[in-house]
């Protein structure tokens, strides 16, 4: 391929920011000074094809502006001294193609900027924990107003992709452990191994498990629990309220409701329900589990759920209700849980 290609281009100051993160800071500041006049110039632009090296792609980027008063150099970027009003600089970049803003299109500018940043995150160019460009950076990069750039970041925040750290900036959210819950978690083999259903799921995927007891005792059955448990409205039931963790990340709030006569005198009423959990204690008492029914619905969290599960803005929850039945069809437990939606995948095998 001919290493030199010629093209006509309209050079605008907003283009400068597109390469900001690939240029040494001193060089970037020099560019900024040169472009401070906000002039628009039509010029010939030379592009050179540069062989790709390990770790990224390399290409020649040229900008046209009035010749600077003094030369600046950087050996790593093969600076060419200016001639007339043309400056040629080879810049290393792994940032991908420059986004083209459609200012005359139907899609709002802030959404186009959000689309670009979302693509950077999803493609891995902005990794988990990486700091996003500041509002000022985005203003320079896209030639947009501060309010527009702020709106773009707000979109990503509402989608749960980024989070704001006070005084530090906006960062790509670090994804928490992802737990894949499947029907196998209720298998008796896990109870025989001394593990409850969720503990087995978490530890089988290589995470550490723990739970904390939030409440233990009798309470008035909520209407939706009374209906599913088959007791009269307002009846007293026994509840175990817990918060469950994987690798020290809160994953779900789990409330188990039982008929008081079924659990009286068992370890279910104690903080430590023993090996295999509550289901193992029920079967020891003669209640054989035969089937489960799960109901899932999605919604946004309440302020308390947001705080206790440490959810990021824009992250929904899954409200999961599970009923455990014995062979006579009697409900033995109503499990009412609030699950962080971005930390779980629910898988089910369904026979055709």
Helix, strand, or coil here: 267?
Answer: helix
- Cα–chain-centroid distance for residue 102? 28
What are the tokens at 168? Answer: 């530090």
The pLDDT value recorded for residue 61 is 36
Q: How would you classify the pairing of strands 344-346 and 179-181?
A: parallel
Angle CA 322–324–326, to nearest 5: 165
Q: What is the pTM of this model?
A: 0.60
The pLDDT value recorded for residue 182 is 67
Average pLDDT over residues 247-262: 95
Which 8-state DSSP code applies to residue 126?
S
Output the average pLDDT for the chain. 74
What is the pLDDT confidence band of residue 261, given thresholds at 50, 70 and 90?
Answer: very high
The pLDDT value recorded for residue 53 is 26
Q: How would you classify the pairing of strands 4-11 and 41-48?
A: antiparallel
Each domain of the chain, given as residue ranges in start order, spans 1-98, 102-175, 179-346
Q: At what angle do helices 146-158 and 135-142 cross, to 10 degrees?
A: 120
Query: Is residue 34 over pLDDT 80?
Result: no
Counting beta carbons within 10 angstroms of the beta carbon of residue 48, is it exposed (0 to 12), middle (13 to 18) or buried (19 or more)?
A: middle
Which residues 6+ apart lie within 8 Å of 68 measured at CB? 30, 34, 82, 87
The pLDDT value recorded for residue 292 is 93
Q: What is the largest CA-CA distance in the chain?
A: 93
Topology annotation, domain 179-346: Chorismate lyase (3.40.1410)
CATH pick for 102-175 out of 1.10.8.60, 2.60.40.3880, 1.20.120.420, 1.10.10.10: 1.10.10.10
> Which residue from 282, 280, 292, 283 is spatially nearest to 195, judged by alpha carbons?
280
**Residues for the chain: how many in total?**
352
Beta-carbon count within 10 A of 195 CB: 21
- Cβ(295)–Cβ(336) below 8 Å: no
Question: For the segment 160-212, what is each residue's pLDDT rounded down to a tens digit?
Answer: 888 888 889 999 987 777 777 766 677 777 777 778 888 888 888 888 999 99
Angle CA 81–82–87, to nearest 5: 105
What is the pLDDT confidence band of residue 141, given thresholds at 50, 70 and 90?
Answer: confident
**What is the rounded CA–CA span in Å between residue 294 and residue 317?**
16
Helix, strand, or coil here: 310?
Answer: coil
What are the tokens at 222? Answer: 């909520």
């Amino acid at each position: 391929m001919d290493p030199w290609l010629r093209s006509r281009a309209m050079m605008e100051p907003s283009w400068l920011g597109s390469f900001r993160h690939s240029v040494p800071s001193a060089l970037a500041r020099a560019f900024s000074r040169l472009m401070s006049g906000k002039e628009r110039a039509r010029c010939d632009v030379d592009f050179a094809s540069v062989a790709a090296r390990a770790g990224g792609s390399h290409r020649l980027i040229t900008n046209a502006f009035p010749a600077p008063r003094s030369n600046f150099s950087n050996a790593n970027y093969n600076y060419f001294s200016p001639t007339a009003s043309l400056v040629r600089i080879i810049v290393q970049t792994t940032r991908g193609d420059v986004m083209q803003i459609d200012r005359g299109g139907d899609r709002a500018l802030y959404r186009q900027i959000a689309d670009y940043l979302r693509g950077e995150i999803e493609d891995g160019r902005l990794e988990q924990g990486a700091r996003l460009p500041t509002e000022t950076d985005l203003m320079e990069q896209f030639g947009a107003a501060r309010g527009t750039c702020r709106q773009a970041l707000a979109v990503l925040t509402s989608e749960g992709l980024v989070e704001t750290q006070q005084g530090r900036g906006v960062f790509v959210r670090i994804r928490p452990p992802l737990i894949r819950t499947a029907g196998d978690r209720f298998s008796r083999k896990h109870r025989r191994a001394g593990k409850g259903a969720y503990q087995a799921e978490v530890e089988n995927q290589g995470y550490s498990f723990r739970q904390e007891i939030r409440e233990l005792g009798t309470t008035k059955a909520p209407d939706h629990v009374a209906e599913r448990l088959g007791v009269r409205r307002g009846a007293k039931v026994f509840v175990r309220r817990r918060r469950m963790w994987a690798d020290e990340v809160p994953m779900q709030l789990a409330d188990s409701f039982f008929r008081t006569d079924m659990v009286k005198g068992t370890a279910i009423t104690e903080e430590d329900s023993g090996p295999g959990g509550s289901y193992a204690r029920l079967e020891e008492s003669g209640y054989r589990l035969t089937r489960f029914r799960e109901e899932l619905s999605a919604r946004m969290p309440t302020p308390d759920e947001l705080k206790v599960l440490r959810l990021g803005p824009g992250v929904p929850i899954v409200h999961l209700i599970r009923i455990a039945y014995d062979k006579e069809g009697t409900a033995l437990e109503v499990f009412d849980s609030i699950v962080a939606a971005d930390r779980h995948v629910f898988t089910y095998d369904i026979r055709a």
